Amino acid sequence: MPDDSANALRGGATPRPLGTPFNLSEVVVGLQRDGNACLFPNAPGPPVRIAGLTVGAPLMTRPAPHAGEMHPDGDELLFVVSGRVAVLLEEPGSHRALELRPGQALVVPRGVWHRVLPKEPSQLVHITPGPGGEHRPLPGAA
């Protein structure tokens, strides 16, 4: 069964059926701790929160509409399929900017604030732990 909290965050969106091909840049896959998977549209707004992992491969042409994110439930895997991105990491006592190119990956440690900035049109696969997560608003955002 899909996680009801994920449905609520997507405005009651109905999970897509399993067992049919789909474009991973258009959906977010929820891999729940009970072993079930569900698919949700990759839409603007708050991210899907799954008690397990979310997997997506968004096409990025501009920075995310937030000033950073943090995942308290586990490490996040980022893998660059195409393009080039900078990943800004806010670690205790330091800030680092790492550039990732196609075929490169990065594990963002649990609890580390980070932001992904595309340097050119890019596609990035993320495997994100949940259900917790925090986002910082952009300066001047409501």
37-56: pLDDT as tens digits: 989 888 877 788 899 999 99
Which candidate, 74, 77, 56, 69, places its Cα nearest to that of 131?
A: 74
Count of other CB atoms within 10 angstroms of residue 105: 12
The pLDDT-based confidence of 65 (bands split at 50, 70, 90) is: confident
Contacts 24+ apart (CB under 8 A), 137-140: 137/66, 137/67, 138/65, 138/66, 138/67, 139/67
Query: Is the domain 4-135 a CATH 2.40.30.10 member?
Result: no
pTM assigned to the model: 0.86
pLDDT tops 60 at residue 130:
yes
How do the domains of the chain map onto residue ranges? 4-135
